[in-house]
A and B are shown apart, each in its own frame.
Chain A
Amino acid sequence: MAARTTDATTSAPAGRSRTWVWTAGTGVALLALVTIHMVAHHFVVERMGGLRTYEDVLDYVANPVMFVIECVFLVVVTIHSMLGLRSVLFDFGLSDRAKRLTDRGLIALGVLTVAYGFLLIGVLASRA
């Protein structure tokens, strides 16, 4: 079994390694995506806190490039969050059955999160 593990009770090193690669990969991608998101929302608009007005928000999401970047950001941040939560929950020493249930619950939560985010972005873009 590989040494680089913290949840050594599972018996699928390949799966664990895949999870780590996804967590690290989405994490590295988030460094760029979060930077774009934070700069766009806090460092572009010339007002206290850099927050956008309602019209500014609509114009922002109506821009096709920003629309795609925000959608990708939502998907990547959700995957990273769910994998992080999974890692934290597995730290509680769950049984195999509980781990399977946790995986399913987190997949469902992730899908709902992305669906709600897409709905929000889509509705706002359609109002511009």
Chain B
Amino acid sequence: MSVRRGADPGTEGIRSARDDVGPIPRKNVGPVAWFDIRKRGLGQFAFSLNRLTGLGLVFYLYLHLAVLSTLFRGQEAWDDFLGIATTKAFLLLDVLLVFGLLAHGLNGLRLALIGSGRGIDHQKALYRSCQVIGTILLLGAALHILGGD
């Protein structure tokens, strides 16, 4: 099946292409479309969330490597960093990181399933399931990280 750039493939389009492996077709493409939530469905919202959390996680990857470079400078430098990293404000950023990982990971898993032709008829249920599982895991992680367990 052929779908032009910008064309709406619809559920039938997705279903008829289930034998193909690849990304899910969307109504609009481009960074501006990520933020345009007018008359958009769940799929577009999930796609935009995946893009934004993905960019955030790439930023975090390099921030993480920069922070870990402190270990090159020895124990004293690392202890100084731990003094900052164990403050409540900093730990809240860790909770934000867990949110990003869960949102991107679970939604990515859903996209991988649908993109490989599995669960297309149940994609909304899949999305809701990911939301529930993600929320439970996030609450558990937040309680642990912030010392509430």
Contacts and interface: CB of A to CB of B under 8 A. Distances in A.
B30 A92 contact: yes
Contacts of B69: 120
Interface string B1-38: 11111000100011011001111111001110000000
Contacts of B26: 6
Contact of A1 (B2, B31, B144): B2
A34 interface: yes
Chain B binding site: helix, strand, loop or mixed by DSSP? helix
Nearest to B54: A84
Contact residues on A (Cβ < 8 Å of other chain), bracket = 35 or more
Interface string A84-99: 1100100111000000
A70 to B, nearest CB: 11
A27 B112 contact: yes
A3 B2 contact: yes
B25 A3 contact: yes
Contacts of A42: 94, 141, 144-145
A93 B29 CA distance: 9
A116 B68 CA distance: 11
Contacts, number: 128
B31 A92 contact: yes
B134 interface: no
A48 B95 CA distance: 13
A3 B5 contact: no
A31 B65 CA distance: 20
A88 B54 contact: yes
Contacts of B17: 2-4
Contact of A3 (B16, B51, B82, B98): B16
A67 to B, nearest CB: 15
Interface string B128-146: 0000000000000100110
A77 B65 CA distance: 12
Nearest to B69: A120
Given A8-B5, A47-B86, A88-B51, A123 B24 contact: no
Q: What 7 A-B pairs are tightest by C-beta distance, nearest first?
A: A4-B22, A3-B17, A54-B75, A8-B5, A24-B112, A2-B20, A54-B78
17 contacts: A3-B1, A3-B3, A3-B17, A3-B20, A6-B29, A20-B23, A27-B105, A31-B105, A49-B86, A51-B82, A54-B74, A54-B75, A81-B58, A91-B31, A92-B31, A113-B61, A117-B65
